[in-house]
Amino acid sequence: MGEMIFLNPVFKEVIWGGNKLHTMFGYDIPSDHTGEGWMISAHKNGDCVISSGAFEGKTLSWLWDNHRELFGNLEGEVFPLLVKIIDAKQHLSIQVHPDDAYAAEKENGALGKTECWYVLDCEPDSTIVVGHNAKTKEELKQMIEDKRWMDLIRIRPLHKGDFFQINPGTVHAIRGGSVILEIQQSSDITYRLYDYDRLQNGKPRELHLEKSIDVIRCPHQENDFAVQKTSGDGFEAELLVRCPFYSVTKVTVTGKAVFEQNEPFQMISTIDGEGTIDGVSLKKGMNLILPAGYGTYEVEGNVTFMVSGV
């Protein structure tokens, strides 16, 4: 059985970021404009370094390239998933992602991006953008041309504990005042549709209207995955989504529970409470990987975590 894999996050400073990765989770962050912590990532724009154990000092991409047995000998050029914590002090731009086929053709063989969000925390009366109101591509083009942004986008109320699956082609945006756990395909391809007419260093950030129009699905389709609940000795579990790229299950342990890691790998992201996993401390904001063949593991405490994998 391999050992648990712990990683040092990679932090990203952005105009819309804040300091909650420090104040909520205790991470050392570069500034008060830290918008993202890439907690589990082998992406070239933020390749996490392993923080302990036999592979200390190596990157996750190195581990993927050199010890594929730890990932069940999965095929693929890159470690397929990326886990982030996002601290949006201000609104992110309104955006959309391509699917694998479009990204492969138009973005040098990059992966498309399917992502999902779990709301770790948000301020009262927070909102989020998921979906749009154009019935056809023609209507979409017209609304964009007329700059009828507020008619176009669907702004929804947001609550702690909400979960959203964002398929390629879905117009979306995280808005100010929310802290979100994002589990996604390992891709950085984003088309910016609207940026609230904001300026960065005196200039608007680039928009990608043509590509956005290409990939936005019309009409918007609601995610209709039906959450599946199970329970057992000491735990309750909810399968929040299963899609071609990942599955995500929310697990709440009260007391003590034993689980089995029998997948190519499992990523554990702690979202609430405190406890231990095989004797190692688990607290809110902590992430780790259980490698292939890890076998059974015991979680103790009052702790809620996501288990995700391919």
Catalytic residues: 192
Closest by CA to 97, choosing from 190, 24, 20, is 190
CA 179, CA 87: separation in Å to the nearest integer? Answer: 5
Class of residue 137 by CB neighbours under 10 A (exposed 0-12, middle 13-18, buried 19+): middle
Closest by CA to 106, choosing from 9, 208, 219, 217, is 208
252-255 contacts at long range (C-beta below 8 A, 24 or more positions apart): 252/303, 252/304, 253/299, 253/300, 253/301, 253/302, 253/303, 253/304, 253/305, 254/302, 255/300, 255/302
Residue 100 DSSP class:
H
CA 165, CA 242: separation in Å to the nearest integer? Answer: 10
Token pair 């699917």: residue: 99
CA 185, CA 276: separation in Å to the nearest integer? Answer: 28
267 contacts 287 by C-beta, under 8 angstroms: yes
CA 306, CA 186: separation in Å to the nearest integer? Answer: 18
CA 102, CA 17: separation in Å to the nearest integer? Answer: 29
CA atoms within 13 A on the CB side of 195: 16
At 17 the three-state DSSP class reads strand
- Beta-carbon neighbour count of residue 42 at 10 Å? 22
